Structure 1
Amino acid sequence: MTVHGEVRPGFEAVQDAFADIVAASSGGVAFSVVRRGEPLVELWGGSASPGVPWTRDTRVVVFSGTKGIVATVVAVLTAHGLLGPGERVARYWPEFAAAGKADVPVSQVLAHSVGLPYVEPDLPMADNAANAAALAAQRPLWTPGTKVAYHALTYGYLVTELVHRVTGQRVGELVQELLAAPHDLDLRLGTPPTVPVATLQRAPGYRISTFLQDPERRRIVERMYRGLLDSTDTMNSPAYRGAELAAGGAVATAGAMARLYDLVLTGALLPAAVLAQATRTWSEGIDAINDRPLRFGLGYELADPIGTYGPPTADPAAFGHSGAGGGRHGAWPSRGVGFSFATNELQAEDVDMRASSLLAALDGALRTQERNGK
């Protein structure tokens, strides 16, 4: 398959790595890198849907890349004085004080250490309000703040309700008003069925939680994900894309995601002090459910021991959020770049080297420029 797009001089190795990915792909892929508003890399290839080629403007569900978008909204609200990471959740959402959660701070919700990784009752996935109410009444699995475990879907319900309590608005409205519309970003949380979106597909052997071997905790993972990633029916449905699920339902182009992180770095969205607060370590350790190394800021994933955000030479201060099946969206502050790898072909984490190979090539290209004083 043909590689489309272009790279700035000096980034040819990134294009070569991308060409290898496209050649091995049965779906579509895109990689975008932006520095201070200027694209350094803008590449795409493969198919968005059967018989439909991927283009520069192809949108795709970014799954948990959504969490990075929503973390940015929360940081903007923090900058406006509407939320405080050290404040009790119950200050904004009184019902949350139930079941021993009266003193839980907002930071523990954002940093995946609150101990509410699944919803006890079997509720419709798309009902944000009902799931939030159930979580408010629910007792945590552990003393909040003592363990960290990825809250795959419940992060979205919790943050959606918090945002609504302090603004009176839906989180999808705020994504549009604070991020997308002012900066002409093609990203949405709550996508109308008339908006074209790439068709998601699972690679053979696709599976989640590849670090996990324990069968008892595997059952917890199944409760967490509710079968969302078991087939393509739900994830490709207009109902899923339209539900404003703040943990995994956003739709965007790779270019929009890279530009979002570039805007965060340049100060166009956040004061430096708020960004520093949001991207310092708030929780860290081995996931108590999934056995995967984790580091979180306030909703953002941070650079970790397994190289989620590139090789060790890339940037130890990297932040962003990955997405199920291989998406990788984030920033290297010391290099001044925002990046996004987007795909509609879901691959298992233990075999998927696509984003890692691109970030390694990007790191090499930037190091060459830096040695040459560019």
Structure 2
Amino acid sequence: MIARGSTAPGFGAVADAFADVMAGSAGAFSVVRGGDTLVELYGGRAPSGPTGAGPDGRSWDADTVAVLFSGTKGLAATACAALAGPAPHGLDPDEPVARYWPEFAAAGKESVTVGQVLSHTAGLPSVDPAPAAIASDLDDRAGAAALAQQGPLWKPGTRTAYHALTYGHLVAELLRRVTGRDPRAVVEEVVARVPGVRVFLRTPPPAPARILRCPGYRLSTFLDGDPDRRAAVDRMYRALSDPELVNTPAWYRSGALAGAGVAGATSMARLYAALADPARSPVPAAALARATTTHAEGVDAINDRPLRYGLGFELADPIGTYGPEPVAFGHSGAGGGRHGAWPERRIGFSFLPGELRTEDADDRASTLLTALHTCL
């Protein structure tokens, strides 16, 4: 692959790393500091067919957009932080969810807090029983209604487990109850406060790049030999069991806050650069500080992955998800996407791949972030 784009003086090592890790693939990597773009690299061809990039595949350009998968959760977390404040008109992490959403108090959940939902400790990692149609996993309103009647799997706040899809159901309903508006529009408007940032949730996106899965793609690679927990993982990620669903309008027009957002790498890098710069942030400094302070950490109770969460944001963790920088926040996406900030450097970055690779065999984002760190 011939990398295209540009790098600021002194960042040539990032271009070299991008060309190496993206050989035979497609995608983009952007880095922004303040209002300045330090790295804007892209290349390959956005695949057009079910087996890969054919002769009619589109070149991956600076304006190419793609599904963010769980990178969408970082957008939702940004909106929640922007709305932080005392109830009932602000979203207060210390308040019970039922303060905003009375139906949620059913089945022993009357004391579950907003903060526990945002930090993945609410004990509601899947909708049980699962709806008949896989595509219905993307319906945040229906998912929220089901979860309101469901009991938690453990005492909320005592265990941490990634709420892969249910995070979106729960947060969407909270945003709806607080604002009285479509939560997708709320998220779009908050992030659009940053000049040059455009994401698509409620707004129909331009045709996003097709996303492929590498042969043997699998989820939850930290989990080994436990059939019960593997079954739980399969329920959580049921919507990803259909490799074609992610490339259909049913997915990327659903606006599901857990994983259906669409954006380009440059928009995501600009957003996180603004979050890292108090003078430009769409979130008040105190609210962002609280949202990026550790609220839950440890080993995931379901899939054994080391975790560290703020209020909706992933934080720098023991396995180096956000590179060598010790202070970081953001959100990763299925198959290798990595979007986040190094606040002490005032840097935002986004790696947006066109191919999903298995976590234990994917070093693309880590290689790029290491190269970036050496250039600072």
So what's the TM-score if we normalise by structure 1? 0.93
Cα distance, 1:79 vs structure 2: 5.2
One-letter amino acid matched to 1:328 = R
**Per the alignment, in what secondary structure is the counterpart of residue 99 of structure 2?**
helix
Structure 1 match to 2:50: none
What are the equivalent positions in structure 2 for 1:223-372 lying under 5 Å apart? 223-226=235-238, 228-267=239-278, 268-311=281-324, 314=325, 316-366=326-376
Gaps of 5+ in 1: 367-374
One-letter amino acid matched to 1:298 = L
Structure 2 match to 1:71: 77
The answer on whether the counterparts of 1:29 and 1:344 sit within 8 Å (CA) in structure 2 is: yes
Identity %: 58
How many aligned residue pairs are there?
A: 359
**Per the alignment, in what secondary structure is the counterpart of residue 127 of structure 2?**
coil
Q: How far apart, CA to CA, are the structure 1 residues paired with 2:71 and 2:63? A: 18
Q: How far apart, CA to CA, are the structure 1 residues paired with 2:198 and 2:121? A: 32
Gaps of 5+ in 2: 48-52
Cα distance, 1:176 vs structure 2: 2.2
Q: How far apart, CA to CA, are the structure 2 residues paired with 1:64 and 1:174? A: 18
Cα distance, 1:182 vs structure 2: 5.8
User: Structure 1's 129 and 231: CA in aligned 2 closer, same or farther, altered over 3 A?
Assistant: closer
| Pair 1:178 & 2:180 matched | no
The answer on whether the counterparts of 2:191 and 2:198 sit within 8 Å (CA) in structure 1 is: no
Q: How far apart, CA to CA, are the structure 1 residues paired with 2:248 and 2:172? A: 21
The answer on whether the counterparts of 1:171 and 1:244 sit within 8 Å (CA) in structure 2 is: no
The answer on whether the counterparts of 2:194 and 2:274 sit within 8 Å (CA) in structure 1 is: no
The answer on whether the counterparts of 1:29 and 1:46 sit within 8 Å (CA) in structure 2 is: yes
Report Cα offsets for 1:105-152 as digits up to 9, x if no partner. Answer: 100000000000000133221322121011011010000000000000
Structure 2 match to 1:17: 17
Structure 2 match to 1:372: none
**Per the alignment, in what secondary structure is the counterpart of residue 10 of structure 1?**
coil
One-letter amino acid matched to 2:251 = Y
One-letter amino acid matched to 2:312 = G
One-letter amino acid matched to 2:71 = G
Structure 1 match to 2:44: 46
User: Structure 1's 79 and 3: CA in aligned 2 closer, same or farther, altered over 3 A?
Assistant: farther
The answer on whether the counterparts of 1:325 and 1:345 sit within 8 Å (CA) in structure 2 is: yes
User: Structure 1's 225 and 191: CA in aligned 2 closer, same or farther, altered over 3 A?
Assistant: farther
**Per the alignment, in what secondary structure is the counterpart of residue 298 of structure 1?**
coil
One-letter amino acid matched to 1:206 = Y
Cα distance, 1:180 vs structure 2: 2.3
So what's the TM-score if we normalise by structure 2? 0.93
The alignment yields a C-alpha RMSD, in angstroms, of: 1.3
Structure 2 match to 1:371: none
